[in-house]
Structure formats: C-alpha cells, structure tokens
C-alpha cells in the first residue's frame, strides 16, 4: 500500500507549486504511471481521493496515463516481446526496459486569479 505514500509525495509537490502562486486553485493533475512501476492504479485513485481532502488538492481530479511495459535489446534495439526471455534472440544481449517504469507528475492545471 505504498500508493498512499506516493500520493503524500504528490500532494507535497503540488503544494510547492501553489505556494509560489497565492490564491491558485488546483483543478487537475496529470500523472504518468508505467506498467512496471509497481503502482496499482486503482489503489492510487483511492489513495488520492482519501488524501486530497483538506489538502491543496481538495476537489482536484487525477488523470492517470498508463504506460505499457516494453523491452528492447540493449545493443541492436530489437523489440523483445512481453513475456519472452529478456535476452535478444539475435545478438544475445540482455534486454533493457524501454518504457513502463514511470512514476511522473506531468502537469498541474490550476485556476489563478487575474490581477
């Protein structure tokens, strides 16, 4: 259940942005989570709904972009199919994870008052 601690870090990070823009109201967070990041999306949503109350994210929406895992040969860049042995069938090198380990806060949408 480390999703709660991830949300706590997320809210802290958003707070830092709001601190520099007095009166700003957070409307939406865009995050990107990889399939092999070890983050359960439903738990993350639940944790966010629980945590956002009485925080700077109160009432804000969480939009999650889920990124599938993909592996490639670390030398010839050939795609290694999901579930296959993680070694290039051509050149024998170990595969490397090309996508799917992100735990990224991409963007915050906030309302700011015109001055």
Partner 1 sequence: MCEDCGCGDPELVPIDVHEHILADNGARAAHLREHFVEAHVLAINLMGSPGAGKTAVLEQTAKAFAGKRRLGAVSGDLATDRDARRLEAAGITARAITTGSACHLDARMLHDALHHMTWRDFDTFFIENVGNLVCPAIYDLGQAANVVALSVTEGEDKPLKYPVMFRNADLVLLTKIDLLPHLDVDVAAIRDGLSRVMPDPRMIAVSGKTGQGIGEWLAWLESRRTP
**Residue numbers of the site for partner 1 (CB under 8 A)?**
1-2, 5-6, 9-10, 12-13, 17, 25, 27, 31, 36-39, 71, 74, 83-87, 94-97, 103-115
Please say which residue, 53 or 114, places its beta carbon nearer to partner 1.
Answer: 114
Cβ contact 94:70 at 8 Å: no
Q: What minimum distance in Å lies between the beta carbon of 90 and partner 1?
A: 16
Read off φ and ψ for residue 85, nearest 5 degrees.
-60, 135
3-class DSSP assignment, residue 8: helix
Q: What minimum distance in Å lies between the beta carbon of 7 and partner 1?
A: 9
Q: Can you read off the two tokens belonging to residue 19?
A: 């601190």
């Amino acid at each position: 259940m480390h999703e709660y601690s991830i949300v706590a870090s997320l809210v802290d990070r958003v707070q830092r942005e709001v601190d520099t823009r007095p009166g700003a109201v957070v409307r939406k967070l865009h995050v990107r989570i990889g399939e092999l990041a070890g983050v359960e999306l439903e738990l993350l949503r639940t944790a966010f709904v629980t945590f956002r109350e009485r925080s700077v994210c109160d009432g804000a929406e969480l939009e999650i972009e889920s990124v599938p895992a993909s592996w490639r040969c670390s030398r010839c860049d050939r795609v290694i199919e999901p579930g296959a042995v993680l070694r290039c069938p051509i050149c024998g090198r170990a595969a490397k994870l090309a996508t799917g380990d992100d735990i990224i806060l991409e963007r915050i949408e906030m309302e700011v008052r015109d001055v």
